[in-house]
Each structure stands twice: as structure tokens, then as C-alpha cells.
Amino acid sequence: MAKSREESQNRFQWFFLVIVVPTIFALTITLIVISMMGINVLDKGEEFANKIPGVSSLVTTQSEENEQRTTDHYESAIADYQAEIEKLEGDNSSKDATIDELNQTITKLEANLESASEAAETSNEETETDNISEMAESFQEMDEEAAAPILENMEGSLAVSLLSEMQSDARGAVLGEMSPEAAAQLTSLMTEEQ
């Protein structure tokens, strides 16, 4: 048994020293010579390995690695752009909400301004009417000779408003003291207004 074991070891040593070592040496020399001739042995080996059906899934070529890196880069860029798009859409939504709030505020302020303007116009009309009434009373209390030249020199619409507010007898006395042309003009304006 010891002899058969020794024989099998001798056969293994003989096989290793006679066949394996010279084969590896010959392959190494061949690869060196081919590389010195300018042929890239590794690239050729990858191409050949990719043509073999079972081995092609285990071996990746440089171009496949470059394609994978490029694909990974583009997928990362797409993910970044998607995140930025989502952020911008969120910003857009919040700005749309702000715009809606501001539009509602503008509508409310316009309504308030309109009601305030209407109130001011009503107040101004009432104040103007009160002022005209007070001035008409003042002209009634004045002497007709003093009131007539003042009314003649006033703007026509104001003079008509004052005369309309005066009592008819005081109005007649003031018109009687005016020049006939001025009295005729004011009387025609008063009839047009009524």
C-alpha cells in the first residue's frame, strides 16, 4: 500500500513536472511574444470568452463595463432630475396657493374700496348739498344789490344751484338786481336743470 501511494505521488510529480510546468511556461512565452507584437491578449481573450455561451455571462468586457458605468451615471442623473422636478412642483403649488390668497385679498380690498368710495360720494353729495343750502341762506340774508354781482360772477352751475335753494321771493329780488343778460342766462340754466 505504501508502494502504490508512492507510485501515485511519483506519477503526479511526473505529470506536473513534464506536462503542466512546460505548458504554463510555453503559454507564458507565447503571451509575451504576442504582446510584444502589439496584440492585446487580454482584450482578445475577453472577446473569445464572450463568444462562448456558458462563459460569456461570467466575463465582462471593458466596453460592457463602460456601458454599465454610463447607464449608472444616466440613471443617477435621472433620479436627481426627478427629485428636482418634484421640488419645483411643490414650490409651484405653494406659490399658486399664495397667488390665490393674494387674489382673494385683492377682491376683498376692491370691494371695500368700492363701498368706501360709494360712502364718500354719498357723504360728499350730502356735504355739498348742505354747503349749498347754507350758502343759499347767506345769500337770502344779504342785500339783493350785494348778492346780485356776486352770483353774476360765479360759475353758472354753482349760481344755478344757489338760486334753486333760495326762496322764490329772495331769488326774484336777486335776479331783478342783475343785468338782464345774466338774469336770462341763469334763468335758462335753471329751467334746463329742472
Look at residue 56 in the predicted model and tell me its pLDDT: 56
Look at residue 59 in the predicted model and tell me its pLDDT: 57
∠ CA(69), CA(70), CA(71), 5° rounding? Answer: 90
Please give the C-alpha separations between residue 9 and each of 14, 41, 81, 86, 108, in angstroms, as whole numbers. 8, 36, 66, 71, 104
* pLDDT over 70 percentage in the chain: 86
110-127: average pLDDT: 74
Amino acid, single-letter form, for residue 165: E
In whole angstroms, what is the distance from residue 127 CA to residue 114 CA?
A: 19
Place of cell 329780488: 173
Q: From the CA atom positions of the chain, what is the Rg in Å? A: 57
Amino acid, single-letter form, for residue 25: F
pLDDT at 129 over 70: no
- Whether the CB-CB separation of 145 and 177 falls below 8 Å is answered with yes
Residue 158 pLDDT grade (very low, low, confident, very high; cuts 50, 70, 90): confident
135-155: average pLDDT: 77
Q: What is the pLDDT of residues 54-86, one digit of tens each?
A: 655 555 666 667 788 899 999 999 999 999 999
In whole angstroms, what is the distance from residue 120 CA to residue 127 CA?
A: 10
In whole angstroms, what is the distance from residue 159 CA to residue 139 CA?
A: 11
DSSP output for 151-185: HHHS-HHHHHHHHHHS-HHHHHHHHHHS-HHHHHH
